[in-house]
Amino acid sequence: MVRGVRLSGSLWLFQSTARIRYTLTDSDLKPLGSLRKANPHRKDWQPMHLYMQSQVEEVARSKHGDLDQMLDGHAALAAAKLTDAIRDKAHAQTVFQPGEEDVEDL
């Protein structure tokens, strides 16, 4: 699921979504026009920047080549991160059981 807003029949992505999902930088997004909306969480925070999904995908294609391959790579990376996190958590939960070789004679 892509986080964004549907306006005038087009899907507009949040800046963070565009950067993370399409592996783009702020410099990549800067040439694109964006809608600025007041931040709904707190009015004194910076406004949200919304980018048209079709334009973001075009920039991502020009930067990365095949968009589908890039998104598949994201899925594989996310799966690997999840596997690592599960393994690390399981490793951290193992209780140390000293064996005879670990006990010192006093």
- Which tokens sit at 9? 């029949």
pLDDT given for residue 87 in this prediction: 82
Q: Is the pLDDT of residue 9 over 80?
A: no
pLDDT tens by residue, 46-55:
888 899 999 9
Does any domain span residue 39? yes
98 or 35: whose pLDDT is higher? 35
For residue 59, the domain's CATH number is 3.90.530.10
- Bridge partner list, 6: 11
Range of the structural domain that residue 23 is part of? 4-65
Q: What is the pTM of this model?
A: 0.60
- 13 pLDDT higher than 70: yes
Indicate whether 46 belongs to any domain.
yes
pLDDT grade, residue 91 (50/70/90)? confident
Cβ partners under 8 Å of residue 23, min gap 6? 60, 63, 64, 70, 74
Q: What is the DSSP letter of 65?
A: S
